[in-house]
Amino acid sequence: MSLGPVMMDVVGLALSAQERERLCHPLVGGVILFSRNYESPAQLRALTAEIHALRDPPLIITVDHEGGRVQRFREGFTRLPACARIGEIHAHDHARGRDLAHAAGYVMAAELLAHGVDMSFAPVLDLGHGVSTVIGDRAFAEDPLVVTELARHYVLGMTEAGMAACGKHFPGHGGVTGDSHIELPVDDRPLSALKKADLIPFARLCPTTLAAVMPAHVVYPRVDAEPAGFSRVWLQDVLRKGQHFSGVIFSDDLSMAGAHGAGDLGARARKALAAGCDVVLACNDPDGHDGLLAALAGYSNPGSQARMTRLHGRPAWGAAEPSQDARYHACRELLLA
């Protein structure tokens, strides 16, 4: 069975019978986990093993685990620094900043892979313009070249550990005050201004470094009337053609307020897929999952299915392997120094 275009969440620490049935639906391709799905390392490994055993190829298991305030699993995991902290250190010591970015990517990926999680939605490529509270210290810096440099080293760490990287939030969420979780932010800058700033990290990392990209629920009216995640202009013309991106495009969570203008959950999913997303995320709305799958009945995109198979974590770390890995210990010591 191939991987489908829907990535959904689950409610608790183990799968219910209804969730097991739903995750076997051919339109489902993955699961995103949250803090509510975590109790202990052993529990997490049991949950991910159960999810992976449902399908062949196994579903992709993902999480938002960037570091700082966005780290879903804490007890039993290394506390990762916020990206802005790495950026602050880099401003005074470039070499140490690069080393910290690499170490954070490696430790994050190694620990997640050892617990059966295939991928973290990281790194953040947004610029820290100082106006967005939802981005805030999740951004490495304001300077797009610094963001590019540190994100590249973060991705190198992830790749070394065996995890694919997802840059977000294309084409940049850092220039708006609104939080797309609760409203639809508007960025009035023209494309020319975005190309000189927020788009630089994506333009430099998309062709060869990133396996996936997640667009923002932000509208840029001087480029297109649709939010980026529902826009063929952004996803096809700018990202695919202009930036030569051939990886997976994930929608951001379709339950966020910034996506509500596209209709109900099924309509949002259809619109995102039509715009060019390969995978749509449906989170925190379990009652809507069955309706979403019904709304996408008959949908198939072989190109998206092929791209999805590249996201499985490699190598599959055993539970004890990070503790036996000298590289892991060196990176962890650097982060905790």
Catalytic residues: 181, 252
Cα 236 to Cα 112, 168, 182, 228, 337, distances in angstroms: 32, 16, 27, 11, 44
Beta bridge partners of 119: 62
Q: Among positive and negative, which fits the CA dihedral 101, 250, 268, 266? A: negative
C-alpha triplet 199, 107, 328: angle, nearest 5°: 140
Q: What is the rounded distance in angstroms from the CA atom of residue 198 to the CA atom of residue 175?
A: 8
Residue positions counted in the chain: 337
Q: What is the rounded distance in angstroms from the CA atom of residue 150 to the CA atom of residue 123?
A: 10
Q: What is the rounded distance in angstroms from the CA atom of residue 197 to the CA atom of residue 139?
A: 14
Determine the 3-state secondary structure of 42 from DSSP: helix
CA 145 to centroid of chain Cα atoms: 21
* Cβ contacts of 231-234, under 8 Å, gap ≥ 24: 231/275, 232/274, 232/275, 232/276, 234/170, 234/171, 234/275
- Helix or strand run (H / E) with residue 167: strand 166-170
By the 10 Å C-beta count (0-12 exposed, 13-18 middle, 19+ buried), 150 is classed as buried
